[in-house]
Structure 1
Amino acid sequence: MDLLIILIYSGFCVLIFKLFRIPLNKWSVPTAILGGIALLGTMILLMNFNHPYGKFSKEVYAVVPVVPPVKGIVQTVEVKPNIPLKQGDILFTIDPKPYQLKVDELEATLMEAKQSAMQLGSQLEFAQAKVKQALAERDRTRTAYNRYRKGSKNNAAAFARQTVDDSRQMYLAAQANADAAQADLQRVTFAHESNIDGVNTQVVELQKKLESARYDLERTVVRAPSDGIATQIALKPGIMAVPLPLSPAMVFIPKQERVFAGSFWQNSLGMMKPGFETEMILDAVPGHVFKGEVISVLPAMSEGQYQASGQLLSANQISRHGRAIALIKVTEEDLEQYQLPLGVQGKMVIYSDQFTHVAVMRKVLLRMLGWLNYVFPVK
């Protein structure tokens, strides 16, 4: 761009010398050269600093990698490349049979658990009755044992030693049965009282497992996350889809506002503020200037970043020169009429509120670069 200014001035000087027949001598030529250096140098410095020029500019957009949520064989691919989609439209489907079988199995297990939970009340009553029966039997045998034992101490002939031992064993057996019945009652009581919001815990656990299985079954149908398009589709039926973040099945481009990013020298940061007017030329649209405004200036530059790792920060990384990145929104409504693909590139200029009269020269030069795009894009 600076070369264009010098060429314009040189052509202007040649025209003046020819038109007014100014002789080429030791006074006229140095005057034209020194005057040009002073004039153009001042104008270029003011223009470059106050109205920064982004030689490298490009449209930026976000993409969504579509990762299969569940593992399985791709059954169908419903989406067509580069066709606009609505949120919820089907992209592709995965064989649902393994997940349907899992749902059916859990539904049967849940039904069995519900029936068992309903029977816990009857089991509790039965266990309580068994405890009463066992305690009554224990008390009866204990009474008999005590009677035989006392009679034996009194040397009663009617109570032989064997009879006392038998009654004692019957009492101990009855006591063991009573303990077992009480333990079983405690078990049934715990099972009956193990509830979450009035629902048996085993039933709740199976309900959650069934809900998870149904969710996996639903996710065998992969849908568009938002309005947008899917492009460069290589997914075909029969491919094994695996839920690995590093291996997406396809790329989805959501519908979004078109934003352009420009790279600028850091000395221009003071003249790059949100709301400043911008102009941009695109290689794909020669001779046309798109107007817009600055949305924001990114608060960080990648050249200065580092992460926790086993390596020290290198001096080579510090020596890398970073550029400031500004995000630009094109305000012209005719951008869509050109049917430009996402990611087009060009050049842009930011016009600050300082030395606005110098901005005229920047506008002229930008348009001249736009005309050169008819021949070849200049970088």
Structure 2
Amino acid sequence: MDLLLILTYTGMCIAIFKIFNIPLTKWTVPTAVLGGVIIIGALIILMNYNHPYTANARQVYTSVPIMPLVRGKVIDVPVEPNRLIKAGDVLFKLDPEPFEAIVRQRQAELAAAQQQVPQLYAQLASAKATTASAKAVRDRTQQAYQRYADGRKKGGKNSPFSELEVENRQQAYLAAEAQLQVADANEMRAQLAYESTFDGVNTSVASLQSQLDKALFDLEQTVIHAPTDGYVTQVGLRKGMVAVPMPLRPVMTFIPKEEAMFVGAFWENSIKRLKSGDQAEFIVSAQPGIVFKGTVRQVMPTIAEGEFQANGNLRGAETFFKHSRALVIIDPEERFDEFHFPMGISGHVAIYTDHFHHVSVIRKVLLRMQGWVNYIFPFH
């Protein structure tokens, strides 16, 4: 851009010298050179500070790594590469047979557990009946023991009940009391088993239901769908391959369909002049001679070269004091999408602030000249 400005001034000087027949003397040539240094220097300073330009610009986009949530053999890849697809369209399928077998197993286990709930109720009812029977036996043996003991106490040596008979009745009572305690314990165990619930459902049934839900979820994951509208590119997945849910090994790359976004890397000396809403223009090498308009969305609040993360390694000076630029996000006009450029193309960007607005005209002219030069070969 600066070279174009110098060449333009040089061309104007040559034309003036030729048209007006100005002689090349020790006064005219230095005057033209000095005038060029002053004029071009002032323009460059004003433009670079108030209307910055960068040749380091590129359209950026987000890619989504696609990986299955379950391990399986690929049986079908119906998606067509580099063709726009809708959200929910099938990308590829895994063999569902192992997961269907697990679902059937969990369904059988759940059915068996559900059948056990009435059995637990029946066991509780049986335990209650056993407890009632044991209590009746205990009460009967207690009364018999008490009658024998009272008769022995009142009759003394003349009592019809011997000491051995009283002791036998006492042992029968104690045995009945022990049986009642066992029955009570069995009833409590049966009641706890029957009343063991989670959200009103038997715990065994709830546990198996959750396992069935997990098996059904895994079965659904054997068919991988497009997360949004977009397309996949460079598809290398084929039938017979084994897809593994590993974050570092995606099997497919999905490109969501989103609004185009340009990012330019600008010198840091002019970023304080930039703000959201400033007008911008950019050119791309793929379409020489055409200037696209845009709007500054945001000046990125961070610069990557100053990043620091806590780890066990010491950071040297070269990490922080590398040459860096500030990134500016630019939203291009809608007309840009009509050209269907490959995503990720590079370009040149100029931003026009409200300061020294009249100088921006020169920047616009130079940007268009740069776009015309792209007909010959792209400058970067």
TM-score band by shorter chain is: over 0.9
Question: TM-score w.r.t. structure 2 length?
Answer: 0.92
1:256-335 map, 5 Å: 256-333=258-335, 335=336
Secondary structure of the equivalent of 1:70? coil
| Cα deviation 1:159-210 (Å, max 9, x = unaligned) | 485x666655544443332211111111122223333443323222222222
- Tell me whether 1:126 sits opposite 2:122 in the alignment: no
2:196 matched to which residue of 1?
A: 194
SS in structure 2 of the partner of residue 85 of structure 1: coil
Q: Counterpart of 1:288 in 2: which secondary structure?
A: coil
In 2, the alpha carbon distance for the partners of 1:221 and 1:352 equals 51
1:287 aligned partner, one-letter code: G
Q: Is the CA contact (8 Å cut-off) linking 2:260 and 2:337 kept in structure 1?
A: no
Q: What secondary structure sits across from 1:295 in the alignment?
A: strand
> CA separation in 1, counterparts of 2:79 and 2:173?
80
Distance 2:33 2:80 in 1: 63
1:336 matched residue in structure 2:
337
Tell me the alpha carbon deviations over residues 286-339 of structure 1, each in whole angstroms, 9 at most, x when there is no partner.
111111111111111111111111123321122112211111111142x23432
Is 2:17 the counterpart of 1:29? no
Q: C-alpha distance in 2, partners of 1:171/1:72?
A: 68
Q: Which moved more, 1:315-324 or 1:120-129?
A: 120-129
Q: Deviations over 1:199-237 (max 9, x none)?
A: 323222222222222111111111110110011111112
Deviating more after overlay: 364-373 vs 151-160: 151-160
Counterpart in 2 of 1:4?
4
Residues 115-145 of structure 1, C-alpha deviations (whole Å, 9 max, x = no match):
2223333332221110011122233344455
Asked if the contact 2:305/2:321 (under 8 Å) is kept, the reply is no
CA contact (8 A) 1:52 1:271 kept: no
Whole-angstrom CA distance in 2 between matches of 1:98 and 1:285: 53
Moved more, 113-122 or 83-92: 113-122
1:368 deviation in Å?
A: 1.6
Q: CA deviation at 1:16?
A: 1.2
Does the CA-based 8 Å contact 2:148-2:161 persist in structure 1?
Answer: no
Identity of aligned residues (%): 48
Match of 1:222 in 2: 224
Measured after TM superposition, the shift of residue 24 of structure 1 is 1.3
Q: Provide the residue aligned with 1:51 in structure 2.
A: 51
Structure 1 counterpart of 2:377 = 376
Question: Partner amino acid for 1:216?
Answer: D
Indicate the larger mover: 318-327 or 174-183.
174-183
TM-score normalised by structure 1 residue count:
0.92
- Report how far residue 44 of structure 1 moved: 1.4
- 1:356 matched to 2:357? The reply is yes
Which consecutive residues of structure 2, in runs of 5 or more, have no partner in the other structure?
A: none
Matched, 1:209 2:198: no
Give yes or no for contact 2:90–2:223 (8 Å, CA) kept in 1: yes
Decide which moves more: 298-307 or 19-28: 19-28
**Contact 2:60/2:262 (<8 A) preserved:** yes
1:93 and 1:32 mapped to 2: Cα distance?
73
Aligned residues: 377
> Aligned partners of 1:39, 1:106: CA distance in 2, in Å?
83
Instruction: Tell whether the 8 Å contact from 2:276 to 2:296 is kept in structure 1 after alignment.
Output: yes
Higher deviation after alignment, 257-266 or 76-85: 76-85
Deviation of 1:147 after TM superposition, in Å, equals: 5.9
Contact 1:292–1:328 (CA<8 Å) still a contact in 2?
Answer: yes
Displacement of 1:148: 6.2
RMSD: 2.1
Q: Which residue of 1 aligns with 2:60?
A: 60
Once residues 148 and 104 of structure 1 are traced to their aligned partners in structure 2, the CA distance between those partners, rounded to angstroms, is 65
Q: How much has 1:19 moved relative to structure 2?
A: 1.5
